[in-house]
Amino acid sequence: MKFRGFCHLGCPFVLLIAWFPGVSESTASLVSSGKASCLTSHLQSNSNALFLVYTVNPGEGFNLIRDVYLRVASLIKLLNDNLEGDRSVVLVLPPWGPLYHWMLDRRMGVPRGPYPWSTFFDIQSLSRYIPVMEFEELICEEDEDVQFFVDHVVVLQNFLDMFESGDFSEKYEVSKCQAHRSEFEPVTGTVAERDDSKWEGVLFGDVTVRSRSLQCVSLMGGAHVISPYLLSTFDQSQFILLERAEVLLHENFGEREYWRARESMRFAPKLVLKAKEFIEQMFPNQLAILDQIICSMAKYFIGTQESTFSFRIREEREMIGFNSDTTFNAFCGGPNGEYCEAPSRWTIVR
């Protein structure tokens, strides 16, 4: 799937604002100049919606990215629980790929991405926990150049001195941007004059994203630490891009709320069907999901100690209801099998 350009809207300015009565000043300016994203039925039906999309370090693998989604889902849930009035935040799901693990796909002539989340996961199931929508729902098919506008970019980064100082207290701080943390650069010349953009970056494969403002935020902690900053930012912004979301820590790992989010993250029904039928005539990047589904249904599972691949299989088996003795097992490691500690038992909480 290749994302194409945005619509150049010919609708009257007053009609667009009627759809977005709470629209921010910067977004209103982009709408009036014909630079706004497509107004899909999802957006039109919820005039008080706020939107957040996020990115993850490009070098991360599939299962770590899945883990980051759970952290962000917890953040969206907390924001919506604390927003005043009838406003709510919709999580815009960032497209998948290209990932390092999918290099084989290119050699076999298979596109490396971007792929919508529905390729791998059940969107209806995700939406039972928090409001979500695919990024491609904001994209039109008419134009060649893909341009996307957000009100504000938040670049998350770790505190540089936390290991030296030993200070791991929960906190956030708007601070100087660290080198090589962001995909955005200052905009100059005619582009800045045309739409008043201050920052520009290329994300999600080939999408040019522009924003009027950007801040770097050093963070140590989970959703409850950064949520006051985001709630305040949403007072002036309708669309926020959260860059490097892997910095966000889990809010309630292993507890009931974590498992509510995790249970919503079901594999795409078509992949589950393929696994049950044991059909492997699929793209290589989907075969890993088949492996996990098959292992999650086995009578007995033995994984590896430090593998996130095995960790996700154990979670799936917990949700299905297998006896923990058949799940939390690992092959011994080391030259002589000296590392033989069983994996920690993170059992489901309901």
Q: 13-257 domain in CATH 3.90.226.10? A: no
Closest CA to 222 of 189, 245, 193, 254: 245
pLDDT digits (tens, 9 = 90+) for 42-79: 455 566 889 999 999 988 888 999 999 999 999 999 99
pLDDT digits (tens, 9 = 90+) for 121-170: 999 999 999 999 999 888 765 545 667 889 999 999 999 988 888 889 99
Closest CA to 65 of 117, 106, 113: 117
Predicted TM-score (pTM) of this structure: 0.74
Closest CA to 152 of 319, 24, 284: 24
Q: For 104-131, what is the mean pLDDT?
A: 83
As a residue count, the chain comes to 350
pLDDT digits (tens, 9 = 90+) for 227-248: 999 999 999 999 999 999 999 9
pLDDT digits (tens, 9 = 90+) for 303-333: 988 899 999 999 999 999 999 999 999 988 7
Alpha-carbon span 315 to 296, nearest angstrom: 8
Distances (CA, A) of 38 to 106, 205, 211: 31, 19, 17
Model pLDDT, residue 148: 80
pLDDT digits (tens, 9 = 90+) for 27-41: 333 333 333 445 444
